Structure 1
Amino acid sequence: MHFQLKSLVLWPRNEKLAPLVVPFAQGKLNVITGASKTGKSAVIPIIDYCLGSERCAVPVTTIRDACSWFGVVVTTREGEKLLARREPGTQQSTGDMLLLEDKTVEIPHSVPEKNTNVDAVKRMLDKLAGLSNLGFDPNAPASGFKGRPSFRDLLAFTFQPQNIVANPDVLFFKADTMEHKEKLRTIFPYVLGAITPDVLARQWEMEQLLRELRRKERELEAQKTASARWRAELQNWVSEARDLGLLSSEQAAPERRETYLASLEEIITKTSADAQVSDISLDAAATESSELDKEEAVVSLQLAEVKGRLDNMVQLRSAVDDYNGALKKQRDRLQLSRWLRDLSEKSEASCPLCGGSFEHADGELDALCDALANVEATARQLEPVPAAFDKELVQVRQQVRRFTDSLKGVRARKQAVEERSKRIRDERWRRAAVDRFLGRMEQALKVLKAPEGDPAFFAEVAELRSRLAALRAASSDSAARERRDAALQRVSATMARLLPGLDAEFPNEPAELNIDDLTIRVTRPNRRDFLWEIGSGANWLSYHVAVMLGLHELFLSQKGSPVPSFLVLDQPSQVYFPRKLAKAVKEGDDPPLADEDVAAVRKVFATLATATKSMTGLQILVLDHASKEVWGDIDVHLVDEWRDGKALVPREWLAS
């Protein structure tokens, strides 16, 4: 991911003073050198704060007392972005931020005013990095260790602060806390390219398919169980059909299962009318009830037809009104353009809002006026709903009321007939029982005829199993492990190439990155040692530098890697400062270095400079005591030297 530092920006509390801009070179080894307590170790916390950290780790007193806002300008594939964040005062942090985006961003001279917040900036950075919106475990909480990767997680590969750069126990930025350590373990296969956004999407799809498959398999098993139970009760089904008058006595006496099924299949073609007892038709009340049933059916059909027509007419009227309203809003909004164009035609006229000239706005105003004319023409062409429509709508509503009243009348007459005749009430109950039986019987026959369940449902289960198998084959764990191992082998190969040029005790012994323990393991004759088992700060520093460069070489070779292409190291030469000498020197002076230590520090700078040349697109920033005398002829871009009273915060800021 092309994401490099262009400049660091500080705004003073005294608004009369200009902001401080510390520029960096792209794709090179940048160095800020200086004495102790000049602000070098504040650079990483400032950049981290502007990139959305949860709390402000910028040192208190001098820097935070003098600055009102911190900012960083970065270059991306979308152009430059200024990310500025307000100094939080007595709070741990603040969400107030300024975001400016352009091909070339102009740094504001005055103290910024917020135009966004830290959450919006984080979302923008996640999108810029092309990170997946899916978590690593579909069943885990979204905010847990298995949640979606974020841009903030990737900064573990960009910062090596003073307490990390030569630490035997901690290899990555903020991996000294359990929360960040667990998240880093989770995202490592993702940044190595072993797990891609497509793989994550397939994993989520597999989980959803698996849930659906389990649900349908349970339903299929229930169908099989029901089928076995119903087959055992076939004779009961036939007996119930005979009792309801759907089968004759002769049909209700078969002994074979196939004959039972054939008899029941005939039943589902019947209706409750076929089960009526013949002498019921001789009852005058029954005859009247039957006629009322027919009348109710006719009126219900007529009512449904008219009601559907009414719904369509009401929807048409609403659509016309909505369209007219939308045209009116457009016309009202565009009307201002015609007034502005009239103003622009007057000599020496200026914009009433900003006071600027109309000189470069004529084309835009003409376009807006043309749009207004098109909207007005459309509005004129739109014909209003004719009066005949309203008349028809009234008539349809009258028909709805008339049919509704008729239906109510028929049902009232039916209720009266039923109340007069107990026989009709009993018959109506019996017919309802027949209808319920027929419905149950139709569904039961589907299962009874298919011992494995409903064929269509069984086909759905088979399709789910097939899709799940295909996704598992495309997202096999073995393939992900192979990609992960290949990436780690490439990092190990880069470390093997770089370590002989550093001050390592075992430069020719194979070293590998262990992503489970987030450390380095060195293979020596007859043993394998972790980083914390190897002594000497020089060793720890060498392995830190080698593994970080190895990872960035891998990231730069990947297509679409989300990791930013910069690396910041703070005080890598500290391991060569003897404590007793560092205490003996006067505060603010540089600790002395022996000749062999100078040579060792020089190796570090030479390795970093070579890396920026061989790894196209990598930017490195080193903050260190070491001066030009150590790395003078190495290809280094000297950003600034903070000595002799010069520091990150200018003196006049402190004086004011």
Structure 2
Amino acid sequence: MSMQIAKIVLYSHRGEIREVSFRLGAMNILTGASKTGKSAIIDIIDYCSGRSECNVAAGVIRKHVSWYAIIFQLGEGQLFVARKNPGVGDKTSPDVYIARGKAIEIPPFEELHKNITVDALEKFLGSAIGISENEHRPDLQTRDPLEANFRHALLFSLQDQNDIDSKQRLFHRQGEDFIGQAIRDTFPYFLGAVDEERLLKQAQLDQARRQLRQLERQLRDAEEVDTRALPRAMMLLDEARQVGLVDERYRAPDSEAALAALRRIAKEDRARDDVIIADGEADLADLRAERQSFRTDLERVNAEIRSTKLFTAETGGFEREAKEQRARLSAVGLFKHNSDHDPEQCPVCSSVLSAPVPAVTEILSSLQDLTQDLQAVEAENPRLQMRLASLEAEADALENRLRENQQRISARIRENEIQKVQQDTFILRARVIGKVIQYVETAGETRADSTLKSRVDLMRARVTMLEAELDSETVKEKLRAFLNIIGHHMTEYAAQLELEHSNSQLRLDIRNLTVVADTEDGPVPLYKMGSGENWVGYHILAHLALHRWFRKKGRPVPAFLILDQPSQAHYPPSQDVEGSLDVLEDDDRKAVRSLFNLVDQAAKELSPTLQIIIMDHADLKEDWFREAVVERWRGGVKLIPPEWLNN
């Protein structure tokens, strides 16, 4: 499906919206002075299309924009893609919002939220432009297979101001790690030299090769079976004897008897009767868990026994002390129990004391308290003794259960060892039975004179046919033919620009990713051509020729081409005077007009299938140029509105 750009939308942090609209299927020119934000257009498109990092230059745009957005035109419908501007110090943001409809209305700032991942966005865009399942497998297997995706396709649609005048790089991001190789690997797919069903045919070839290997192995087995000696049958019978599938005293008198014995083994399939279902390791784990539980309980009971014994010892000490005190106080019974006794007079001899003694009532009160405490302690002692006896009995029971558990664990370990031997025997038997069954089936159903040979021949023919359809040389031949056609278009465009070597046949060199002019003195690559005029001119005509091919063949590449500062070789920013070409020399003015005129003619020729967007300083006075201008960023008009800066 064709993909073009209807609008670029920016959101401020306050929710204000800035729109830049473009015409579909035509040339669009965004002209203006330096530092107005023109070059950020490519970085915004790149970022909103799933690039891992936001390359919009740090400054006014990064500071005042909260979300970047694009409205893509997809056939009769539209797709709105918004991506959050990374925060200060961040290189990217995972927040992506998409919406799809017949005619998208720009959603308000409050509705923007993450509803898709960056990876899912990339797959969605690839599916939207028609990228089918594909895979490039290097001939020498020097690197992993690569699948062409939307990010690869976008490389053919962007030319920033550093790309467009480079003599070393023809494509966007070509000089970055792995990008150049990715362009080489995916080029045949995007040009259409690779069959759309290649991945399916590759899977069919892989399956056919596996089946062929199986049939060839069966044929070898059949040829071995067809011999008189049948050495493999005797070997299999020996293996069966070693694992107990036949009586160890049995010896086959000849090969036919050995084959008959093997057929009996295959028919009985004894492995089914010997399957060991019990899971000894699980039982052992349960027993060990039970032992741990017993140990925990025993530790708890022992701790309680220690606490009880300590409490009993402490109450015994208290009892002894209390009895001694009661004995001392009991002497109060010798005295009179009158309440008016003078505490300063001796109760025995009635002499005056230097220090007063306690009253008899106080001593009697203390004696009564001690007696009550002793009675409580003496009443508690039997219960403590009973509790202690109960705890000790529980501890004995737990120790017995621990001993029983240990015995069961030891028995389980011995049983597991026996079981493991049985399982190993079962595995050996199952392996031998499998070999016997395969051999018997081969011996019984296939002979050298059977249909097996014809099946092998048919499968070999299928493999050969699929290999021919997937032959890399076939792809290379188609690629060379397509590149010759594209080179012819490039030569036509070069004649209009009057570039150096424009009279020579031009071609794209996919291996080196450059433009080559085939002259009478030999090939001349782009990096050997002089002047920025040639570099810019050949970049533009190469991409125009490529998109002419993409659109003619309906290839899954975005139907837009974005060119940043194509006039820079003749009209540098330092000479900009309101976009006028009057400040230029005649040759430079002619070259700039020819360049824009070529792009305009190509856009009209390919309309409405191709959209071309140009950002430049130049502002020509010709009517066709003015009709193509979508915005002029001069006199304070920029990508970021001035009121955003004030806010």
CA distance in 2, matches of 1:65, 1:437: 74
The 1:588–1:456 alpha-carbon spacing in structure 2 relative to 1, beyond 3 Å, is same
CA distance in 1, matches of 2:27, 2:600: 5
Does the 8 A contact of 1:162 with 1:571 survive in 2?
yes
The 1:450–1:534 alpha-carbon spacing in structure 2 relative to 1, beyond 3 Å, is same
Partner of 1:43: 41
Partner of 1:115: 115
**Runs of 5+ in structure 2 lacking a partner?**
267-272, 274-430
SS of equivalent residue, structure 1 residue 163 = helix
1:550 to 2:545 alignment: yes
1:66-465 equivalences in 2 (<5 Å)? 66-77=64-75, 79-89=77-87, 90-111=89-110, 112-137=112-137, 146-214=145-213, 217-218=216-217, 220-221=219-220, 231-232=230-231, 261=256, 461-465=456-460
Does the 8 A contact of 1:227 with 1:447 survive in 2?
no
Partner of 1:646: 637
Range with greater deviation from structure 2 (507-516 or 468-477): 468-477
SS of equivalent residue, structure 2 residue 475 = helix
Partner of 2:603: 612
- Give the residue type in structure 2 aligned to 1:623: M
CA distance in 2, matches of 1:437, 1:98: 60
Partner of 2:13: 13
Residue of 552, 565, 569 corresponding to 1:575? 569
1:626 to 2:618 alignment: yes
SS of equivalent residue, structure 2 residue 51 = coil
Residue of 50, 61, 64 corresponding to 1:63? 61
CA distance in 2, matches of 1:71, 1:438: 66
Q: How far is the alpha carbon of 1:588 from its aligned partner? A: 11
CA distance in 1, matches of 2:150, 2:597: 30
Q: Give a deviation string over 1:544-597, Cα, whole Å, max 9, x none.
A: 1111011111111114x100110000001111146xxx5588999999422321
Does the 8 A contact of 2:61 with 2:640 survive in 1?
yes
CA distance in 2, matches of 1:633, 1:531: 31
Does the 8 A contact of 1:192 with 1:555 survive in 2?
yes
1:521 to 2:516 alignment: yes
Does the 8 A contact of 1:503 with 1:603 survive in 2?
no
The 1:5–1:451 alpha-carbon spacing in structure 2 relative to 1, beyond 3 Å, is closer
CA distance in 1, matches of 2:642, 2:189: 46
CA distance in 1, matches of 2:65, 2:588: 37
CA distance in 2, matches of 1:99, 1:57: 21
- Give the residue type in structure 1 aligned to 2:538: Y
Q: Give a deviation string over 1:177-230, Cα, whole Å, max 9, x none.
A: 131111100000101111022023212321343245345545654665677695
Count of matched residue positions in the alignment of Structure 1 and Structure 2:
480
Does the 8 A contact of 1:566 with 1:619 survive in 2?
yes
- Give the residue type in structure 2 aligned to 1:532: Y
SS of equivalent residue, structure 1 residue 91 = coil
- Give the residue type in structure 2 aligned to 1:70: Y
CA distance in 2, matches of 1:528, 1:463: 48
Q: Give a deviation string over 1:320-376, Cα, whole Å, max 9, x none.
A: xxxxxxxxxxxxxxxxxxxxxxxxxxxxxxxxxxxxxxxxxxxxxxxxxxxxxxxxx
Does the 8 A contact of 1:132 with 1:197 survive in 2?
yes
CA distance in 2, matches of 1:523, 1:229: 69
Partner of 1:489: 484
- Give the residue type in structure 1 aligned to 2:120: A
Does the 8 A contact of 2:580 with 2:620 survive in 1?
no
CA distance in 2, matches of 1:41, 1:439: 70
CA distance in 1, matches of 2:449, 2:213: 17
CA distance in 2, matches of 1:647, 1:236: 87
The 1:12–1:454 alpha-carbon spacing in structure 2 relative to 1, beyond 3 Å, is farther
CA distance in 2, matches of 1:271, 1:80: 69
The 1:466–1:650 alpha-carbon spacing in structure 2 relative to 1, beyond 3 Å, is same
- Give the residue type in structure 1 aligned to 2:204: E
CA distance in 1, matches of 2:121, 2:105: 19
CA distance in 2, matches of 1:206, 1:237: 34
CA distance in 2, matches of 1:60, 1:99: 25
Range with greater deviation from structure 2 (468-477 or 619-628): 468-477
Q: How far is the alpha carbon of 1:115 from its aligned partner? A: 2.2
CA distance in 1, matches of 2:232, 2:624: 97
CA distance in 2, matches of 1:118, 1:486: 37
Q: How far is the alpha carbon of 1:446 from its aligned partner? A: 5.8
Task: Give the structure-2-normalised TM-score.
Answer: 0.66
CA distance in 1, matches of 2:61, 2:471: 52
Does the 8 A contact of 1:585 with 1:591 survive in 2?
no
SS of equivalent residue, structure 1 residue 593 = coil
CA distance in 2, matches of 1:539, 1:26: 29
The 1:28–1:441 alpha-carbon spacing in structure 2 relative to 1, beyond 3 Å, is closer
SS of equivalent residue, structure 1 residue 71 = strand
Structure showing greater Rg: 2
- Give the residue type in structure 2 aligned to 1:42: A
CA distance in 2, matches of 1:69, 1:458: 67
SS of equivalent residue, structure 1 residue 157 = coil
- Give the residue type in structure 2 aligned to 1:12: S
- Give the residue type in structure 1 aligned to 2:463: L
Q: How far is the alpha carbon of 1:147 from its aligned partner? A: 1.7
Does the 8 A contact of 2:579 with 2:617 survive in 1?
no
**Runs of 5+ in structure 1 lacking a partner?**
255-259, 273-296, 298-435
Q: How far is the alpha carbon of 1:131 from its aligned partner? A: 1.8
CA distance in 2, matches of 1:270, 1:222: 19
Residue of 11, 22, 41 corresponding to 1:24? 22
CA distance in 2, matches of 1:81, 1:93: 22
Partner of 1:413: none
Q: How far is the alpha carbon of 1:518 from its aligned partner? A: 0.5
SS of equivalent residue, structure 1 residue 82 = strand
Does the 8 A contact of 2:170 with 2:514 survive in 1?
yes
Does the 8 A contact of 1:52 with 1:152 survive in 2?
yes
The 1:62–1:139 alpha-carbon spacing in structure 2 relative to 1, beyond 3 Å, is same
Task: Tell me the percent identity.
Answer: 31
Q: Give a deviation string over 1:445-500, Cα, whole Å, max 9, x none.
A: 66568997795766654443232122123333343223212211111111111111
Does the 8 A contact of 1:145 with 1:186 survive in 2?
no
The 1:469–1:603 alpha-carbon spacing in structure 2 relative to 1, beyond 3 Å, is same
CA distance in 1, matches of 2:567, 2:98: 35
The 1:269–1:51 alpha-carbon spacing in structure 2 relative to 1, beyond 3 Å, is closer
SS of equivalent residue, structure 1 residue 576 = coil
- Give the residue type in structure 2 aligned to 1:73: I
Q: CA RMSD in A?
A: 4.1
Range with greater deviation from structure 2 (213-222 or 523-532): 213-222
Partner of 2:500: 505
- Give the residue type in structure 1 aligned to 2:39: S
Partner of 1:562: 556
Partner of 1:349: none
The 1:238–1:550 alpha-carbon spacing in structure 2 relative to 1, beyond 3 Å, is closer
